[in-house]
Amino acid sequence: MTTPYPRDMHGYGRRAPDPQWPNPGGSGAAKICVQFVVNYEEGGENAILHGDKASEAFLSEIVGAAAWPGQRHMNMESIYEYGARAGFWRLWRLFTEREMPVTVYGVATALERSPEQVAAMREAGWEIASHGLKWIDYRDHTWEAERADMDEALLLHEAVTGEPPEGWYTGRSSEHTLELCGERDFLYVSDAYADDLPYWQETRGKPILVLPYTLDSNDMRFATPQGFNTGEQFYTYLKDAFDALYAEGEAGAAKMLNVGLHCRLVGRPGRSAALARFLDYIRSKPDVWVATRADIARHWRARFPYRETISPHRMERAVFLEMFGGVYEHSPFIAQRAFERGLGKANDTAGGLAAALQIQFRRASREERLGVLRAHPDLAGRLALAGGLTAESSAEQASAGLDQLTPDELARFTDLNTRYLARFGFPFIIAVRGLTKHDILAAFETRVSNDEETEFRTACAQVERIARLRLDAILGAPGA
């Protein structure tokens, strides 16, 4: 595997950024951001009437629903009609009466068939993001076919609502979706579920701001196995999610809670009551920012604009080896093997790349690792005195004062170097950053008495430590 690993398994790591959420009417930053999405899909789902090959089979009241090829499914159609005719208005009243903002994921063809509902969304000041042209599965679409539908969705969306959408969410997406979004100028895209905070993602076109969506705090689980059976279960799950994130915000690690809604699901009376209780619950809490997704995206872009950084996993081989081939002293094969193994976004930090190189060092044969040890210079040895060290080794030895030894200290180092090399067959290796020459001499005196296997392992561990420090210098130490 020589191509970059496309998934990001690192994210923000243990130090997520502080979003400093706005807090209208409060003091300081909000402890949590809550965002509600109303998915408007009714009239855009799979249906023979819409030119599709089969009826819809996803997210309805019909247990075990299956697509009916070539046939209209009248029960399925009427369930979706409920969402447009009744469910939407119930949700519209719940939010407008409480003056709480909403983002609509609007399927363009569904919006086109519901002019009164679109007028109500606009009247309420709701953000209307694009949910694609039709609410269908795009996993088997070609790049060109999905792009054509995206283009048509944007044109139709603007014609129906009067404005182009700022955000995009396909839902049943493909491996092409986010890359296609990188060809456009969306404020944000949401076809991901990978975090509790927004993040930047690089595409072939341009970096895109991803506002992750949710499939757990989502009423879709009323229509899935092992989902919510009652409104109380839905309310309890939303409350638990809110309380957990609110507590994290109180501890200085604020996050975002997404809540996904569907007109035909939570718009039913027995479920809408639970949603109403949750809306009133969060309204009772201080320091809560309820926002549209566009509001969140604008805040994130202002506070955390995209900044290009060194990305080892995206480098060409020659560039990668030039930059990191010397991290293990005179042993570029370590970096070469790590590159050939395949790097990902998780390897773009000093710690992440150190781990990838370390794996290859540890998997090398004993003779190869001995070769790495023997490539290191003596401390304050002949190479140092003659100015023959690598730039990295020279700076490291100078940081510990090894370039300013007294005659007695130099004699002591020379004696220890000779004894150590004769005993183990490789030079004494220690990560000198942060140590004094007295610390180093004390370690030298102790380790020269080790048995061969103990010292081999100790020296290898020090080589790994030196590599990490060198990567910190190149890529930046944690918290720097």
Task: Render 15-83 in DSSP notation, one character per residue.
Answer: ---------TTSSSS-SEEEEEEEEE-TTSBS-GGGT-SB---SSSSSTT----BTS--HHHHHHHHHI
Distance CA 102, CA 90 (A): 14
Distance CA 430, CA 238 (A): 53
Distance CA 341, CA 325 (A): 15
- Smallest Cα–Cα separation from 39: which of 150, 234, 170? 170
Tokens of 201: 């993602």
Contact 347, 312 (CB under 8 A): yes
Q: What is the rounded (10 degree) CA torsion for 319, 321, 327, 331? A: -160
Distance CA 336, CA 328 (A): 11
Q: Is 262 a catalytic residue?
A: no
Question: Cα-atom radius of gyration of the chain, to the nearest Å?
Answer: 30
Distance CA 156, CA 168 (A): 14
Contacts of 226 (CB under 8 A, 6+ apart): none
Distance CA 466, CA 433 (A): 8
Catalytic residue among 131, 176, 299, 376: 376
Report the catalytic residues.
376
